[in-house]
Amino acid sequence: MIKLCHLTSVHSRFDIRIFHKECASLARKGFMVDLVVADGKGDEEKSGVRIVDAGASKGRLDRMRHAPARVLAKALELDADVYHLHAPELIPVGLKLKKLAKRLFFGTHEDFSQQLRSEPYPSASARWFLSLSFVLQKCWDCRRFDAMLNVLLGKIVLCSYARRGSHREFVAHRQQSGLASLCHSQCGSSK
């Protein structure tokens, strides 16, 4: 049986998209699913998904600086076949997992470069520079991942198979199959 592990340091453990539409959907399809969160509420199991807590952060800066290392430690303990990252601050975690030959998806569900441009702090030119730097770094780092997932209009779009160097697209309606079809195409079997 394929073991999947979703990683987030930002989202709540019962985030509708991550927990309900992805993790619980995959568990119903017969996958072993773990969800690593960083909220300080402890470990639990719900809807066939094992939720593993990496501990709460003391604020935004503490989360960005320390949560990725805590999430990585939990991810390594779980030793999954496939990891799915849900936060850009976890890209370095993904790079470390790739060095261990793990299969890795990165889900970009928000436009982080746009969010950086709309932040009220630094100046407009600094926001533009940070946004561009983020996009370039993300493109460079994520080329090492197995796939980049984008959610567009209620569909999951697989933008690229990074390691294979091709740019095929795969579309699965979340309402019908969650990520089961995608995992089947990447790993060969859903059971």
pLDDT score, position 51: 98
The answer to whether residue 104 scores a pLDDT higher than 70 is yes
Q: What is the pLDDT of residues 110-164, one digit of tens each?
A: 555 555 556 666 777 776 666 566 555 655 556 677 777 665 555 555 554 444 4
pLDDT at 128: 65
Whose CA is closest to 46, among 37, 55, 54?
37
pTM of the model: 0.72
Mean per-residue pLDDT for 21-37?
A: 94
Average pLDDT over residues 168-184: 39
Which residues sit opposite 51 in a β-bridge? 35, 44
Spatial neighbors of 104 by CB under 8 A, at least 6 apart, are: 82, 83, 84, 85, 94, 97, 98, 145, 146, 147
Structure-model confidence comparison of residues 161 and 106, the more confident one: 106
pLDDT digits (tens, 9 = 90+) for 55-102: 998 887 788 889 999 999 999 999 999 999 988 888 889 989 999 989
Of the two residues 45 and 142, the one the predictor is more confident about is 45
9 pLDDT more than 80: yes
Long-range contacts of 76-81 (CB under 8 A, 24+ apart): 76/100, 77/52, 78/3, 78/5, 78/34, 78/36, 78/52, 79/3, 80/3, 80/4, 80/5, 80/34, 81/2, 81/3, 81/4, 81/187
